[in-house]
Amino acid sequence: MAKERRAGDPWKSRLFKMSTQSDLTELRDRGFDNERQVHGLIERNIGTMFPGLELLETEFRGMARGALRPDTIAFDTTRNTFVALEYKNRLNKEVVDQARTYLNLMRQHQAELILSHSKNMGCSPRDEKSFNWKKMYAIIMAPEFGDYQIIGADEDPTMEMYEIGMYDDSIMLVERVGGDHEGTSAKAARTPAKARAQRSPADQIKSAPAIKLARVTISKGSSVPGCEKTNGCYVPHTVTIDVGGEVVWTNDDPNTHTVTSGVMAEGGPDGVFDSGPFVFGAEFSHTFETAGEYPYFDLTHPWMRGVVIVKE
Tens digits of per-residue pLDDT, 106-154? 999 999 999 999 988 888 888 888 999 999 999 999 998 888 888 777 7
Helix (H, G, I), strand (E, B) or coil at 63: helix
How high is the pLDDT of residue 179?
Answer: 58
Same fold, 31-204 and 213-311: no
Please tell me the distance from the alpha carbon of residue 28 to that of residue 18, in angstroms, as a whole number: 14
Report the length, in residues, of the chain: 312
Read off the DSSP letter of residue 237: S
Rounded CA-CA distance 59/64 in Å is 8
- Indicate the range of 18-22, 195-199, 249-253, 256-260 predicted with least confidence: 195-199
Residue ranges of the domains in the chain? 31-204, 213-311
Which H/E stretch holds residue 40? helix 35-44
pLDDT value for 251: 92
Tell me how crowded residue 214 is: count the other CB atoms within 10 A of its CB: 25
Lowest mean pLDDT among 26-40, 249-263, 275-289, 290-304: 26-40
Distance CA 118, CA 301 (A): 22
The structure's pTM equals 0.57
Q: What percent of the chain has pLDDT over 70?
A: 83
pLDDT score for 67: 61
- In Å, how far are 138, 219, 303 from 95, measured between CA atoms? 11, 36, 45
Residue 64 has pLDDT above 80, yes or no: no
Q: What is the mean pLDDT of the chain?
A: 82
Contacts of 140 (CB under 8 A, 6+ apart): 85, 86, 87, 88, 95, 96, 99, 159, 160, 161, 162
Q: What is the pLDDT of residue 277?
A: 95
Say yes or no to pLDDT of 206 above 70.
no
Second CATH level (architecture) for the domain 213-311: Sandwich (2.60)
Residue 11 has pLDDT above 70, yes or no: no
| One-letter amino acid for residue 46 of the chain | I
The pLDDT, as a whole number, for residue 66 is: 60
Which CATH architecture group holds 31-204? 3-Layer(aba) Sandwich (3.40)
Neighbouring CB atoms inside 10 A of 224's CB total 10
